[in-house]
Structures are given as structure tokens and as C-alpha cells.
A and B are shown apart, each in its own frame.
Chain A
Amino acid sequence: QSVLTQPPSASGTPGQTVTISCYGSSSNIGSSSVNWYQQFPGTAPKLLIYGDHQRPSGVPGRFSASKSGTSASLAISGLPSEDEADYYCAAWDDSLNAFVFGSGTKVTVL
């Protein structure tokens, strides 16, 4: 059971905007910054977003993220087929004294 809750799946047609939610609590999202990771099958995850909404160099602008209270969200706009992957939110949890990941959301491009 993950501390951070994400929907198991999300989908959209090419060009649409897909939004993934991540629900936590005051001990994690509510008090720490959120990272988002993208993972393709058989490969290591890649940092997509850090510090709630910052994109590392090289991450396309179609990826955006926000946070409000104890929840966060990742949006992929102009969805291209190559963004079909698993997406994980993550944050430090002060109660657990550990970095925790969400359960992951599989994005499918229809």
C-alpha cells in the first residue's frame, strides 16, 4: 500500500491533455516538494519534475505540474504516442522519515 495514491491508469488520444493526480497527506505532500518520474518498460525511471513544478533541462514543456495542499498533479498536454509510460509522484514523508513514491499511473495513448 503506497503512501501516495495515484490512479492506476489514465488515457487520452494524441493531442489531448492528460492529467494525473497524486494524493498524500500533511506529512508528505503537505510539507515537502513533489517530484514526478517517467518510466518506460524495462528502463530506469527518469526525473520529469522536481520541486513541485520545475522541469529539469531537456524535459519538454508539454509536461507541467502543480500542487495544492496535500495533493499534486501532472499534466501532459498535446499528448504524443511516445509519452505512453508509467508515471510516479514522490515526496519526502516526515512521519516515516523516508522518501515515498506513489503507486504509479500507466498512461495509455489511444
Chain B
Amino acid sequence: QVQLQESGPGLVKPSETLSLTCTVSGASIRSYYWSWIRQPPGKGLEWIGYIYYSGSTGYNPSLKSRVTFSVDTSNNQLSLRLSSVTAADTAVYYCANGVVPTGSWGQGALVTVSS
């Protein structure tokens, strides 16, 4: 069974870059597409985009100018970078299996944007 675990700083200052890693176990990262989703506290879900190990990506147009995904096949990890963050980027960030999440999800990582 595929398992995912997000990790990264829980606090980021406004205007800085948010960076998260998702470690995949139970499957090769080359086997699937992977997606990122976020959820502001008390609010709904927002799809951020997807990545394939080849580097193929798709981003939500609402975030495309600020977000970058990457894959580290040697460590079976995904990464998300979101630049120029504001308080509106405070959310629980999830990685999941699939272009759209159709399989396993990570437990989520809360990232708070605050000075």
C-alpha cells in the first residue's frame, strides 16, 4: 500500500518561499502521478497541481505563477515550493496519489504564514 508523509517548516514568513517534501513509501515514485492539495483552516479543498517523475507537471492557474513541483527519484520524494506567500497561503498541505487524488493521501502538513 502506498504511504505518503509530508514534512517541512510549520511557519513561514510573509513574502518568503514555502517548501514541503512528501516522502513516498510502498511504491516507486516512478509508478504514478502525484498531486498536491491544500486546505485553509476551516475551509474547503484546493487542488494545487500534479507531477510525474519525468518532470511533466500541471498547475492550478490560480497558483501557477508561484508554485513549482519537483521529484527526487533517488529518495522517492516529491517537493513543493510556493513563493511570495501571504497569510492566505496558510493551510494544511497534502500530497496524494494521482493527477487528481484517487488513491492514498498523506496526513497533511500545517503551514502557517506569519511574521
Contacts and interface: CB of A to CB of B under 8 A. Distances in A.
A99 B105 contact: no
B62 interface: yes
Contacts of B62: 98
Interface of A: 2, 35, 37, 43-47, 50, 88, 90, 92, 96-104
Nearest to B107: A44
Given A45-B105, A90-B47, A98-B62, 19 more contacts: A35-B100, A35-B101, A37-B45, A43-B107, A44-B107, A44-B108, A47-B101, A50-B102, A88-B44, A88-B45, A92-B100, A97-B58, A98-B47, A98-B60, A98-B61, A101-B44, A101-B45, A104-B44, A104-B45
A80 to B, nearest CB: 23
7 contacts: A35-B101, A44-B107, A98-B61, A99-B47, A101-B46, A102-B44, A104-B44
Given A44-B94, A97-B61, A35 B106 contact: no
Interface size range on B against A: 20 to 34
A45 B101 contact: yes
A45 B45 CA distance: 9
B105 to A, nearest CB: 4
Contacts of A45: 37, 45, 94, 101, 105
A95 B109 CA distance: 30
Contacts of A100: 47
Nearest to A104: B44
